[in-house]
Structure 1
Amino acid sequence: MKLVPAALAMLLAGSLPALAHDVPAEVVKSPPAGAFKAVSSLVKLPDFLPGMGQLFVDPASLPAGPFLAYDHDGALVSTIYMLPVKDLNPDKRFEDLAAPGGNVDHVDVYYNAGHPGVEEPHVHLVLWHVAAADEARVAQ
């Protein structure tokens, strides 16, 4: 039946990741609109962090975020969550983490002992919106 392939196509289309054109205009370029503030305006950190980029966060979402990370040209490259290690246990869940930048190309997870703004040990969950080869855009 032709109905089955059409239904399957609709189901698959609904499950595909967001495409770049689906990225909300308010986050495509820095500074993002809304409640997002430059992290460097909130805590004693440089405006651009090598390996991460220029970070923006809604202060109400701290400590986890999301943090929006931009390259030197102001283009969004990743969404970062900073999840406290103490909260990574069977009693705590992090559900429905948003990827405001749309399509997620790949994900990195790594430990951080703490830094200004998120002093306690935490895990960085980095949702890259660019290919691994393009991570160099925030390398320095």
Structure 2
Amino acid sequence: MSDVLPLPEFLPGMGTLFVNPQTLPAGPFLAYDHDGKLSATIYMTPLEDLQNGTSFDNLGLGSEAVKTVDIYYNAGHPGVEKPHAHIALFHDDGAKERLAE
């Protein structure tokens, strides 16, 4: 993602993100740890779109294995400027901790 947007290569809490620009804003954003292991699939759904009834259907998955899910607010950042929800699907038991480093 840092090739397309002015963001660092590794974002603490999210890892190294890869996204197909055609799938913005929702994604999926594939989140890799420092060792290159796919650790999470993250969606970024603008709150305004959800409030206006937009559905985000058939979003891709980085992996079918999902151990935990976090949903939290983000005020906006390059790539998804509007306030939005992050929906993070963590793919294994240590994924969240590896992405936090």
Residue 96 of structure 1, CA deviation: 2.5
The residue matched to 1:69 in structure 2 has which SS? strand
1:89 and 2:51 equivalent?
yes
Residue 89 of structure 1, CA deviation: 2.6
1:130 pairs, out of 76, 92, 98, with 92
- Distance in 1 of aligned mates of 2:22 and 2:59: 15
Determine which structure has greater relative contact order: mean sequence separation of CA pairs < 8 Å that are 6+ residues apart, divided by chain length: 2
* Structure 1: gaps (5+ residues): 1-38
Output one character per residue of 1:76-113: Cα deviation in whole Å (capped at 9) or x when no partner.
00000000010113622222333221211111100000
Instruction: Give the total of aligned pairs.
Output: 101
The CA RMSD over aligned residues, in Å, is: 1.3
Q: TM-score, normalised by structure 1?
A: 0.68
Instruction: Specify which structure has the higher proportion of helix.
Output: 1
Contact 2:38 2:62 in 1 (8 A): no
* Structure 2: gaps (5+ residues): none
1:107 and 2:62 equivalent?
no
* Higher Rg: 1
Contact 2:27 2:59 in 1 (8 A): no
Instruction: Specify which structure has the higher proportion of strand.
Output: 2
Superposition pairs of residues 1-140 of structure 1, within 5 angstroms: 39-89=1-51, 91-131=53-93, 133-140=94-101
